[in-house]
């Protein structure tokens, strides 16, 4: 069976360090939001695309994407969004979900390719990068998730109470795809605070993304 990868943008968090609301709807310039850029970067890497977000989905209607609420209640973290994505993917006959974060606008354009090449036997893989000191950082919201592990993930969330992505991925011996910095910038730089947003706006202008 040929792999069929669908994408899920994770935007179900509470954004407390940003003061609440939807970080992905913050503008980088000329009306272009973080979500606009994330969609443009992931679209060419997947066969179909959905957004994981909670609350009233009408605020995302102009993006013309399916909006998937967390699969379990209580803001259980990104694993709940990944589970929602796996359920949606299974309904569409997909074999894998590519997850990306809605607040991370500069992630690699070859993300799916590298995660696929570095997947475990089960096809599970997460991204990694390094900081300026050479320290390795796993980027677990950027991963390739086999639909075949959907039920295992549901049990981990509902029965075992697992919330941290790496606890579950370590259990399954996930592969790891390493990505170099891009002009000194961690490709997984994400917007958590107003200062981060200012920096993202500057980078986006320098790269003619807005």
Nearest partner of 187 among 125, 82, 109, 118, judged by Cα: 109
pTM: 0.94
CA-only gyration radius of the chain, Å? 16
d(CA 115, CA 94): 16
* Selection from 153, 177, 175 nearest residue 165 by Cα: 153
At the fourth CATH level, the homologous superfamily of domain 5-206 is Spore Coat Polysaccharide Biosynthesis Protein SpsA; Chain A (3.90.550.10)
The pLDDT assigned to 51 comes to 98
Per-residue pLDDT of the chain (210 residues; tens, 9 = 90+): 568 999 999 997 655 455 567 999 999 999 999 999 999 999 999 999 999 999 999 999 999 999 999 988 877 899 999 999 999 999 999 999 999 999 999 999 999 999 999 999 889 999 999 876 777 899 999 999 999 999 999 999 999 999 999 999 999 999 999 999 878 899 999 999 999 999 999 999 999 999
Q: What pLDDT, on the 0 to 100 scale, is given for residue 16? A: 46
Alpha carbon of residue 72 to chain centroid: 18
Count of other CB atoms within 10 angstroms of residue 31? 8
């Amino acid at each position: 069976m040929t792999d069929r990868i669908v994408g899920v943008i994770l935007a179900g968090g509470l954004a407390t360090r940003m003061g609440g609301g939807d970080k992905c709807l913050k503008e980088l310039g000329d009306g272009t939001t973080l979500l606009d850029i994330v969609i443009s970067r992931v679209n060419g890497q997947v066969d179909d695309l959905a957004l994981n977000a909670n609350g009233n989905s009408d605020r995302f209607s102009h993006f013309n994407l399916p909006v998937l609420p967390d699969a379990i209640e209580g803001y259980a973290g990104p694993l709940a969004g990944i589970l929602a994505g796996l359920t949606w993917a299974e309904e569409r006959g997909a074999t894998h979900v590519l997850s990306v974060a809605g607040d991370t606008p500069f992630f690699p354009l070859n993300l799916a390719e590298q995660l696929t090449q570095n997947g475990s036997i089960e096809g599970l893989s997460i991204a990694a990068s390094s900081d300026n000191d050479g320290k390795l950082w796993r980027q677990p919201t950027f991963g390739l998730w086999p639909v075949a592990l959907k039920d295992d993930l549901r049990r981990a969330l509902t029965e075992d109470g697992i919330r941290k992505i790496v606890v579950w991925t370590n259990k399954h011996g996930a592969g790891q795809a390493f990505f170099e910095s891009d002009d000194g910038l961690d490709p997984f730089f994400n917007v958590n605070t107003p200062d981060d947003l200012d920096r993202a706006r500057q980078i986006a202008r320098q790269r003619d993304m807005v």
